[in-house]
A and B are shown apart, each in its own frame.
Chain A
Amino acid sequence: MDTNYNPFSLEGKTILVTGASSGLGQATAIACARMGANMVITGRNAERLQETFNQIDAPSKVQTLADITVKDDLERLVASLPPLDGAVLCAGNSTTLPLQFGTREKFDEMFEVNFFAPIELLRLMYKKKVLQKGASVVIIASIGGTHSFMPGNGVYGASKAALNSVMKYAAREYASRKIRVNSICPGMVDTPLIHRGTITEEQLAEDAKRYPLGRYGHPEDIANGALYLLSDASSWLTGHDLVIDGGFSI
């Protein structure tokens, strides 16, 4: 066995993870560091961002407190970024709301967090050439809105479908700099986001049984997908929406 062989290594790469104070962002930031990346993490909650920061064992690490839905925060974040080899856009939110209650206001709230903020961050990182040639961008989308259409998820799913669409356009346009853009479409993953009480714990347990692999995802299941997309192992992959959902959308 060649113990030096590791196409998934992130050694020497500098990677930004947004939404790193919780859930998928936190797990992804920790995993990237374990693969040898220099880390830049950002999130809205100082205390929880610090918790993630403490768990990161990386050659170098920086944390920037920022709410990327706030213009000044976003611009301050972009101005502070070192040249990047990768970015994982995890910051997002969810809502469970039947469409007849999905007012313009509800859609705006969801799109602000899930769509406009990450897309503006992506635009600025490209335009200001923060993303280096050959960089890899990973957008956390969802199976909702493109692969799955569960009642109550319309407002959320639409925001994620929009992300998946822009991901593909960006993959085409950014290819001129050999920058790859892909998304991950997770099924339900066990993060604080799904335990807010609109859906009861009993309903969640029942729903998890509908997954062919018998459980909801762990944050690490998604983080491992991001490692692949960030690493040179996926050098020839762009514009792809990687479904990681325990078989739910089959």
Chain B
Amino acid sequence: MEIQEFIENFAAQFDDTDEALFTADTKFKELDEWSSLTALSIIAMVDDECDVIIKGNDILNSDTIQDLFNVVVKKQKK
């Protein structure tokens, strides 16, 4: 999966945030809509779309969408 598709899948987990706000550099945990349920949805989305199991800590340690994408790519290579 390319970063652009990842960003689209990431944005799809939000309901009220303007899509234009989602870029590779978006600090997603600073978004008003971010919640623990969104975090669970991101984990489930990555499992579904990328076939990779990420953990809560992977999200905790990522600031931007790019950071999380890098984690996913790294785990896919393993």
Interface residues in chain A, defined as those with a beta carbon under 8 Å from any beta carbon in chain B: 96-98, 100-101, 151-152, 197-200, 202-203
Contact B56 A203 (CB under 8 A): yes
- A-side contacts of B56, CB under 8 Å: 197-200, 203
The docked-state distance in angstroms from the alpha carbon of A101 to that of B45 is: 8
The docked-state distance in angstroms from the alpha carbon of A203 to that of B57 is: 10
* Total A-B Cβ pairs within 8 A: 35
B40 is an interface residue with CB less than 8 A from chain A: yes
Q: Which of A96, A197, A202 contacts B40 (CB 8 A)?
A: A96
Main secondary structure of the interface of B (DSSP, over half): helix
Q: How far is the CB of B68 from chain A (nearest CB, A)?
A: 14
Interface residues in chain B, defined as those with a beta carbon under 8 Å from any beta carbon in chain A: 36-37, 40-41, 43-45, 47-48, 55-57, 59-60
5 A-B pairs with the lowest CB-CB distances in the bound complex, closest first:
A197-B55, A200-B56, A101-B44, A151-B37, A152-B40
Contact B57 A98 (CB under 8 A): no
- A-side contacts of B41, CB under 8 Å: 98, 100-101
The docked-state distance in angstroms from the alpha carbon of A174 to that of B48 is: 43
Contact B60 A101 (CB under 8 A): no
Q: How far is the CB of A150 from chain B (nearest CB, A)?
A: 10
- A-side contacts of B45, CB under 8 Å: 101
Contact A98 B60 (CB under 8 A): no
- B-side contacts of A198, CB under 8 Å: 40, 43, 55-56
- A-side contacts of B36, CB under 8 Å: 151-152, 203
Closest residue of A by beta carbon distance from B59? A200
